[in-house]
Chains A and B, each alone.
Chain A
Amino acid sequence: DTAVSQTPKYLVTQMGNDKSIKCEQNLGHDTMYWYKQDSKKFLKIMFSYNNKELIINETVPNRFSPKSPDKAHLNLHINSLELGDSAVYFCASSQSYARGEQYFGPGTRLTVT
């Protein structure tokens, strides 16, 4: 009965490939996020969607494209993967745009070889 789930948990792929990570929340929240955790464990916001609308788009290469088919899902598609994309990607959700308490998914460890 996971609140925020992500698939896959691990993703190993070669440079140049295109891959997607899926995120789903069953909390009824309006807002969803993608964060990137680098090798030094630093977490940084990438995107945020509120009711399927993009509200935050940080300085992220345009090879990264989020898609929100409905407010319970926020997927992350990455084109032309590079070595520097290797990281753990966390999805999160919050009740609403202005309620800061966020619930995190288990993370997807992406390794680009």
Chain B
Amino acid sequence: AQSVSQHNHHVILSEAASLELGCNYSYGGTVNLFWYVQYPGQHLQLLLKYFSGDPLVKGIKGFEAEFIKSKFSFNLRKPSVQWSDTAEYFCAVNIPNSGYALNFGKGTSLLVTP
């Protein structure tokens, strides 16, 4: 079965620190990749997506992610986090043979301290 793994379940950073959240998926074919963010008490918002083309994608709020096909990875990065980035981050993959539903990782809870 296809799966999405997020390696860090809880991350605590100080403001201005750099962020990298790992995401790996297990599927050998073509995939679409996403990062979603869920701020406390809110719904999921799309941070960025990768369908094809340049493997380095830029999203909203200064986030970027790099798709490395050989590693089946799609890690999320931000050079300098802010307190307002405190949220739950979900990596997701949608795969043609799963009806294009999103398969989510278990999420990473990020706490940014002032």
Chain B at the A interface: SS class: strand
- Could you say which residues of chain B place their CB within 8 Å of the CB of A104? 36, 43-45
In angstroms, Cα B49 to Cα A48, docked, is 20
Taking residues whose C-beta sits less than 8 angstroms from the other chain, chain B's interface range is 20 to 34
Asked if A90 and B107 sit within 8 Å, CB to CB, the answer is no
In the complex, A60 has a CB within 8 A of chain B: no
Min CB gap A71→B, angstroms? 16
What is the distance, in angstroms, from A113's C-beta to the closest C-beta of chain B?
21
* A interface residue numbers (CB < 8 A to B): 31, 33, 35, 40-45, 48, 55-56, 58, 90, 92, 94, 97-107
- A45 to B104 CA separation, bound complex (whole angstroms): 9
B28 beta carbon closer than 8 Å to chain A? no
Contact A106 B32 (CB under 8 A): no
